[in-house]
């Protein structure tokens, strides 16, 4: 059966020294999960396949222990190799229909979207959730196609609601942190279609105390009526 994922506070990992420093990715992720992260995506654009599989397995031990889902960015093969809950794919990655065929109906598949067309196509194609962004410019992803701001997020949410895709979950991503989270959520709020959560990289991966910061961010998410 497909897992019912809680997207409230969605951690996307980063393995680059600029963000991780000399800390072990697993230590940072485990601390953040203890603080309340509800979903983890392993995102590593540079490591070779053997390293990806090894780190993914180590992360999976942590996520399983804490009963949160683990998704893999881009790499369907790595997700299949370790048997985790699913994947997150972008517009330039493997086609959603092929990913679905490879992973099966129970896999959780998320798609990055930055406009209404991409969002409706992903919904029609059977995406479980949309990662809507980039909300704000961020050093974590400099090759991003588009900065859409909260207005762009709102536009996508409205179109998804109007088209009746009630079951497709939504998070926003890009430059979200403890200082702007509530403003983003507030400005993204649409009566018909609240976000299901926020996805962050550096706000947690670079935090001095990821557990405390996750607790704080989750508190802000839960306080906000713009989430469902």
Question: Per CB under 5 A, which region of 23-31, 90-98, 190-198, 213-221 contacts Mg ion?
Answer: 90-98
- The CB-of-200 to ligand TZP minimum distance in angstroms stands at 4
Q: Exposed/middle/buried for 170, CB within 10 Å: 0-12, 13-18, 19+?
A: buried
- The CB-of-69 to ligand TZP minimum distance in angstroms stands at 17
Rounded-to-integer distance, Cα 175 and Cα 157, Å: 18
Using rule CB under 6 A, residue 60 touches ligand TZP: no
Binding mask 201-220 for ligand TZP (x = CB under 6 A): xxx-----------------
Rounded-to-integer distance, Cα 149 and Cα 151, Å: 5
Rounded-to-integer distance, Cα 56 and Cα 78, Å: 8
CA angle 203, 42, 5 (to 5 degrees): 85
Size of the site for ligand TZP (CB under 6 A): 16
Using rule CB under 5 A, residue 158 touches Mg ion: no
Among 23, 26, 58, 93, contact with Mg ion (rule: CB under 5 A): 93
Binding mask 8-47 for ligand TZP (x = CB under 6 A): ----x-----------------------------------
62 binds, among ligand TZP, Mg ion, none (CB under 5 to 8 A by kind): none
Find the binding residues for ligand TZP in span 65-124 (CB under 6 A).
112
- The 10 Å Cβ neighbour count of residue 50 is 8
Best CA proximity match to 15, nearest among 28, 6, 2, 31: 28
Is the CB of 63 or the CB of 134 nearer to ligand TZP? Answer: 134
Rounded-to-integer distance, Cα 16 and Cα 11, Å: 15
Is the CB of 45 or the CB of 61 nearer to ligand TZP? Answer: 45
Backbone angles phi, psi at 200, to 5 degrees: -135, 150
Backbone angles phi, psi at 12, to 5 degrees: -105, 125
Binding residues for ligand TZP, rule: CB under 6 A, are: 12, 112, 133-134, 138, 140-141, 144, 173-176, 200-203
């Amino acid at each position: 059966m497909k897992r019912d994922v809680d997207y409230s506070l969605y951690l996307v990992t980063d393995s680059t020294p600029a963000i991780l420093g000399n800390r072990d990715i697993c230590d940072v992720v485990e601390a953040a999960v203890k603080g309340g992260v509800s979903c983890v995506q392993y995102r590593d654009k540079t490591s070779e396949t053997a390293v990806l599989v090894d780190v993914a397995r180590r992360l999976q031990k942590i996520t399983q222990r804490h009963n949160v889902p683990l998704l893999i960015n881009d790499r369907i093969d790595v997700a299949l190799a370790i048997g985790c809950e699913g994947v997150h794919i972008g517009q330039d990655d493997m086609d959603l229909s092929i990913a679905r065929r490879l992973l099966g109906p129970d896999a959780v598949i998320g798609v990055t979207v930055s406009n209404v067309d991409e969002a409706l196509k992903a919904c029609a194609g059977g995406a479980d959730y949309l990662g809507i962004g980039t909300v704000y410019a961020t050093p974590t992803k400099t090759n991003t196609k588009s900065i859409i701001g909260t207005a762009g997020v709102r536009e996508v949410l409205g179109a998804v609601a109007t088209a009746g895709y009630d079951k497709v979950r939504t998070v926003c991503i890009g430059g979200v942190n403890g200082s702007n989270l509530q403003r983003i959520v507030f400005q993204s709020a649409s009566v018909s279609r609240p976000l299901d959560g926020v996805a962050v990289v550096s706000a947690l991966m670079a935090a001095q105390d990821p557990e405390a910061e996750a607790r704080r961010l989750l508190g802000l998410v839960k306080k906000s009526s713009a989430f469902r």
